[in-house]
Amino acid sequence: MGMFLKPAPNTGQPLYLQLMQQIRHAAETGALRDGDQLPSIRALADELVISPNTVVKAYSELAHERLLELRHGAGAFLCVKHRTRSLADRVQASRRRIHALIAQLREEGLFDEEIRRAFEAEMACPAETVRGR
């Protein structure tokens, strides 16, 4: 059993984005540390039973965000320097706010499914995942 989950095909989200989130999450929680090597494209495609193109896309997007470093012929390595620290903090902070908001909505009598759909509706526009450095 590896550290990544098989992406869910029917959440309405491209698989490469799901994989990117899992890698980011692993970096945020410290499951992956600076300099750690990620599985090869072939190994991860094999493990998760997904197209290697999905892995390539996730790795190259994360390399673009500089969370990964792709070394020619050697593979992909996690690159958590100061930048991702602050990103992790931001993600942590936003989690706390979302947590509080959801608690409040539940208090007001909304069901989880209603809250989920409201979030979905707000995020209906396919947002770009590009973010400022």
Cβ 15 to another protein shortest distance, Å: 7
- The residues with which 11 forms a beta bridge, in sequence order, are none
Residues 6 or more apart in contact with residue 84 via CB below 8 angstroms: 27, 28, 67
Angle, to 10 degrees, between the axis of helix 82-107 and the axis of helix 112-122?
A: 130
Closer CB to another protein, residue 31 or residue 98?
A: 98
115 contacts 106 by C-beta, under 8 angstroms = yes
Closer CB to another protein, residue 13 or residue 22?
A: 13
Report d(CA 34, CA 49) in Å as an integer.
27
Closer CB to another protein, residue 42 or residue 90?
A: 42
Residues that bind another protein in the complex, under the rule CB under 8 A: 6-7, 9-16, 41-42, 45-46, 49-54, 117-118, 120-121, 124-126
Joined tokens for residue 67 = 């969370």
Cβ 33 to another protein shortest distance, Å: 26
Cβ 83 to another protein shortest distance, Å: 27
Closer CB to another protein, residue 17 or residue 88?
A: 17
